[in-house]
Amino acid sequence: MWSRLRHLRPRFTRQLPIGSYIVDFACRSIKLVVELDGSQHIDAVAYDDSRTLFLESLGSRVLRFWNSEVRENTDGVAEAIMAAVAHRLGPTHPKPLPSREGL
């Protein structure tokens, strides 16, 4: 997944410490965190939930994907991440000025 994310703009960072946690990938400028979970995370639901709550309390949006999902549907996962980036960036064009009717 890093091979896809490292070429995106805004820039992603790998293995970023945030508070007492280390997130898999993060885009600091838009506060987007991407976590990849393996089978070891099945027993760590409470830990993952508290981590997500902490990150969200800082204004971050957390996306979670299973490792198997990344292996089997890399393009779909990349598209979901890119859609979240676009959403966090917001509109790219300024709103048009109000019309000057009657002047």
Q: Which of 1-10, 12-21, 33-42, 91-100 has the lowest mean pLDDT?
A: 91-100
Q: pLDDT of 41-74, one tens digit each?
A: 566 788 888 999 999 999 999 999 999 999 999 9
The domain locations on the chain are: 2-89
CATH of domain 2-89: 3.40.960.10
Between 75 and 96, name the one with better pLDDT: 75
> By percentage, how much of the chain surpasses pLDDT 70?
83
Tell me whether residue 53 is exposed, middle or buried, using C-beta atoms within 10 angstroms of its C-beta: 0 to 12, 13 to 18, 19 or more: exposed
CA 8 to CA 12: how far, in whole Å?
Answer: 7
- What pTM does this model have? 0.80
Dihedrals phi, psi of 35, to nearest 5 degrees: -115, 135
Higher pLDDT among residues 4 and 33, named by residue = 33
pLDDT for res 11:
92
pLDDT at 102 over 60: no
